Structure 1
Amino acid sequence: MKAAAVVAVASVVASASAFVQAPGRSLANVARSSSSLKMSAEDSTGVTKPLGYWDPAGFTNSGDEEAFNRRRAVEIKHGRIAMLATVGYLVPDLFRFPGYISPSNNLKFSDIPNGLGALKAVPPLGIVQIVLFVGFLELFVWQQKPENAPGDIGGKGWVRYSDPAIKEDKLNKELNNGRLAMFGIMGMMVGEGVTGQTPIQQLISGHLSPFGDGQGAF
Structure 2
Amino acid sequence: MLSAAIAPLAFTAPMAPALQAVRGSAVSMVTKEALAEKLNPAIGYFDPIGLGTADFWSQGNAATYGFLRHSEIKHGRVAMAAFVGFCVQSNGIHFPFDLQGGGVAQAQYAAGLSPPEQWDALPFAAKAQIIAFVGFLEWWSEFGGVHYMRGGQPGKYPEFNNIPLHKMPNLFDPLGLSKGLTADQKETKLCAEINNGRLAMIGIFGFLAAEKIPGSVPLLSFIKPYAGEPMAPF
The TM-score bracket by the shorter chain reads 0.5 to 0.7
* Other-structure match for 2:53: 61
Report the Cα offset of residue 108 of structure 1: 2.3
Contact 2:140 2:158 in 1 (8 A): no
* Other-structure match for 2:23: none
User: Residue 72 of structure 2: which of 70, 75, 78 is its match?
Assistant: 75
Relative to 1, partners in 2 of residues 1:86 and 1:152: Cα closer, same or farther, differing over 3 Å? same
Relative to 1, partners in 2 of residues 1:144 and 1:137: Cα closer, same or farther, differing over 3 Å? same
Relative to 1, partners in 2 of residues 1:152 and 1:208: Cα closer, same or farther, differing over 3 Å? closer
Q: After the TM superposition, which residues 95-114 of structure 1 pair with which residues of structure 2 at under 5 Å, given as runs?
A: 95-103=93-101, 107-112=104-109, 113-114=113-114
Relative to 1, partners in 2 of residues 1:209 and 1:75: Cα closer, same or farther, differing over 3 Å? closer
User: Residue 41 of structure 2: which of 40, 45, 49 is its match?
Assistant: 49
Name the structure where helix makes up a greater proportion of residues.
1
Identity over aligned pairs, percent: 31
Secondary structure at the counterpart of residue 31 of structure 2? helix
Report the Cα offset of residue 166 of structure 1: 1.4
Report the Cα offset of residue 144 of structure 1: 5.7
Bigger RCO of structures 1 and 2 (CA < 8 A, at least 6 apart): 2
Relative to 1, partners in 2 of residues 1:162 and 1:120: Cα closer, same or farther, differing over 3 Å? closer
2:153 corresponds to 1:152: no
Secondary structure at the counterpart of residue 213 of structure 2? helix
* Other-structure match for 2:31: 40
2:164 corresponds to 1:172: no
Report the Cα offset of residue 96 of structure 1: 2.0
Contact 2:210 2:220 in 1 (8 A): no
Letter in 2 for 1:60: G
In the superposition, the TM-score normalised over structure 2's length comes to 0.60
Report the Cα offset of residue 167 of structure 1: 1.7
Which runs of no fewer than 5 residues in structure 2 stay unpaired? 1-7, 9-29, 55-59, 160-169, 226-234
Report the Cα offset of residue 78 of structure 1: 0.8
User: How many aligned positions are there?
Assistant: 167
User: Residue 88 of structure 1: which of 77, 80, 85 is its match?
Assistant: 85
In the superposition, the TM-score normalised over structure 1's length comes to 0.64
Q: Residues of 2 paired with 1:69 and 1:90: CA distance?
A: 32
Letter in 2 for 1:64: N
Letter in 1 for 2:97: G
Secondary structure at the counterpart of residue 42 of structure 1? helix
Letter in 2 for 1:145: V
Q: After the TM superposition, which residues 108-147 of structure 1 pair with which residues of structure 2 at under 5 Å, given as runs?
A: 108-112=105-109, 113-140=113-140, 143=144, 145-146=146-147, 147=151
Relative to 1, partners in 2 of residues 1:118 and 1:71: Cα closer, same or farther, differing over 3 Å? same
Which runs of no fewer than 5 residues in structure 1 stay unpaired? 4-38, 200-206
Runs of 4+ residues over 6 Å off in structure 1: none
**Structural RMSD (CA):** 3.4
Spell out, residue by residue over 1:166-199, the C-alpha distance to the aligned partner (whole angstroms, 9 max, x if none): 1221111000001111111110111122349xx9
Secondary structure at the counterpart of residue 194 of structure 2? helix
Greater Rg over alpha carbons, structure: 1
